[in-house]
Structure 1
Amino acid sequence: MDLRDKVIITCALTGAIHTPSMSPYLPVTPEEITREANLAAEAGAAILHLHARDPETGRPDQSIEAFGRFLSAVKNGTGAVVNITTGGSPFMKVEERVQPALAYAPEVASLNMGSINFGLFPLLQKYKEFKHDWEAPALEATRDLVFRNSFKEIEYILEKCSANSTRFEFECYDIGHLYNLAHFADRGLVKAPFFIQSVFGILGGIGTHQEDVLHMRRTADRLFGDSYVWSVLGAGASQLRIAAMSASMGGHVRVGLEDSLWAGRGRLAQSSADQVRMVRKIIEGLGKTVATPSEAREILRLKGADKVAF
């Protein structure tokens, strides 16, 4: 099968950045997350990147029980590759963040490749009223927050998940994170093909200028040659522009309400599926084809949905 013109769409449904007051469409409950997963898969997402939330408050919840409320329904209802976060929330310790991936042994788990300042506090300039008392303090707290992903913590996640044959989506928020990944590759702790998700537009990480995107790609090419699969996500308004750059350069894309709440200037996306459909038009307009879940599994050399623990 010729997979060179296949583009994998990852859809990140809810995340831990946006709070419930920012959009009525942000999925919070297990039922909402499951419904959004189905819609995104129907629209063309081959990979579903999943976080969990407290169904009452909407606060990020990295407990095994929280993920257990929707993982089987998402897998059985969509056939898509399920990607469980080990990033969780920037306020969580690594021991908490790794628990769902360790318990459920997914085909893919995300893994942040370095520590960064993680500034969400500028959102307080835009949003003034909040449904829950935790939202504004959590955003303000990021003014003095370092999202810890030390070498020791990355090693901890790799070690804990090594027996599960879970492959990783290596989230790289800056150039140094690519060098961190190369360090672990040199030590033989990670194996090719490396699924690299370059993240653009988080305050504290690399920016969203086209030269930033090209710099990430050139550096990854130099460090990993043909031993990696490249994907991008652009935060906020840069989402589709950066996705278009990646697709035009032979890369893959990630969209979803975790990364952006919008479906055009001033228009809230009513579902992550809106963004999947929008990026699909870009991909097909470039003469490429959206990858199916089975094609994504082949490209990334995944173990298969029958070998997960949910």
Structure 2
Amino acid sequence: MSNPVIITAAITGAIHTPSMSKALPVRPQEIVDAAVEAAEAGAAIVHLHARDPETGAPDQSPQAFAPILGAIKARSDVVINITTGGAPTMTVEERVQPAQHWQPELASLNMGSMNFGLFGMLNRFPELTHQWEEDYLGNHDIIFRNTFRDIRYILETLKDAGTRFEFECYDTAHLYNLAHFRDQGLVTGPLFIQTVFGLLGGIGPHPNDVAHMKRTADRLFGDEYRWSVLGAGRHQMPLAALSAAQGGNIRVGLEDSLWLEKGVMAPSSAAQVARARMIVEGVGRRIAAPDEARTILALKGGDKTAF
């Protein structure tokens, strides 16, 4: 009980598109409501993207986040995490702008380049409303660029803001990349490492894959990191259970999966948080409150942001 579980809720993301689920929040007020509901269900952190309110396409302009951030903060003390991943089709300069402008407590940071295969979803969701959805999902040529220069650029751009990072690692090489930046003195512990499983182009979702990533992180970072697990799609809850049982933290939300269980689409990110909380409590642990997450991750506090 002295090791509470930090639940992160990723509210909308840039992978799933509006035609896939009516529950996916697109408009600013929908994102605000979804984030607050997830926090009320037990999320200590909400991970945020913004979208064009008409088409639902990813929008990484600082202005797109303006009606979202303050509105969440006015209703909840949840930790707000702004993406620097944006969408894999964006430049790093575009992707870092919202975090640079709003100076959040926490921002995501992808730790390596990778192939990004979303095209399998076209078979499951053949009826799409917008042409951009078909073009985006059908692209077999996406490389999610996160070079050493790109990663350094984000670290240096945000260093004076006091923003800390959710380091997203999709394979073991990304852990070694993070160790490189640690050794260069550009990042310091406690490192919040989000290990990502089941996305085509990254490591798979088998329990052996999870064990391999965990062993590698243990060896590289010892007690200077906090481990969290993100399972994509149908792997979300099984891997959440695996992480909770092994002392780790959990990320859920409609960004990562549209499903609550087999054959049942999630009505909200809050429903997924509630299910994750059941898992956590079922293995004899408890969830972390936002201020506990701030202490565990050494965050600067919600009063030190620019929103």
Q: State whether structure 2 residue 95 is matched by structure 1 residue 97.
A: yes
Root-mean-square deviation over aligned CA pairs: 0.7
- Deviation (angstroms), 1:75: 1.6
**Other structure's SS at 1:49 match:** strand
1:196 aligns with: 193
Q: State whether structure 2 residue 209 is matched by structure 1 residue 212.
A: yes
Q: 1:290 aligns with which of 264, 287, 290?
A: 287
Could you report, residue by residue, the CA deviation over 1:177-228 in whole angstroms, capped at 9, with x for unpaired residues? 0000000000000011100000001100000000000001000000000000
1:67 aligns with: 65
1:18 aligns with: 16
Q: TM-score, normalised by structure 2?
A: 0.99
Could you report, residue by residue, the CA deviation over 1:35-92 in whole angstroms, capped at 9, with x for unpaired residues? 1011101000000000000000000000000001110011221110000000000000
Q: Distance in 1 between matches of 2:93 and 2:222?
A: 33
Q: Which runs of 4+ in 1 moved over 4 A?
A: none
Q: State whether structure 2 residue 184 is matched by structure 1 residue 187.
A: yes
Could you report, residue by residue, the CA deviation over 1:113-171 in whole angstroms, capped at 9, with x for unpaired residues? 00000000011111111111110111111x11110000000000000000000000000
- Deviation (angstroms), 1:172: 0.1
Q: Distance in 1 between matches of 2:39 and 2:220?
A: 33
Q: Distance in 2 between matches of 1:225 and 1:187?
A: 17
Q: State whether structure 2 residue 145 is matched by structure 1 residue 148.
A: yes
1:172 aligns with: 169
Q: Distance in 2 between matches of 1:131 and 1:166?
A: 37
Q: Distance in 2 between matches of 1:52 and 1:19?
A: 12
2:4 aligns with: 6
Q: Distance in 2 between matches of 1:135 and 1:227?
A: 40
Q: TM-score, normalised by structure 1?
A: 0.98
Identity percentage of aligned residues: 63
One-letter amino acid matched to 2:235: S
One-letter amino acid matched to 1:180: N
2:218 aligns with: 221
Contact 1:37-1:78 at 8 Å conserved across structures: no
1:122 aligns with: 120
Q: Distance in 2 between matches of 1:265 and 1:221?
A: 32
1:268 aligns with: 265
Q: Distance in 2 between matches of 1:156 and 1:139?
A: 28
- Deviation (angstroms), 1:5: 2.3
Q: Distance in 1 between matches of 2:189 and 2:21?
A: 38
2:134 aligns with: 136
2:111 aligns with: 113
One-letter amino acid matched to 1:92: M
Q: State whether structure 2 residue 255 is matched by structure 1 residue 258.
A: yes
Report the CA distance shift for 1:4/1:224 in structure 2 as closer, same or farther (over 3 A).
farther
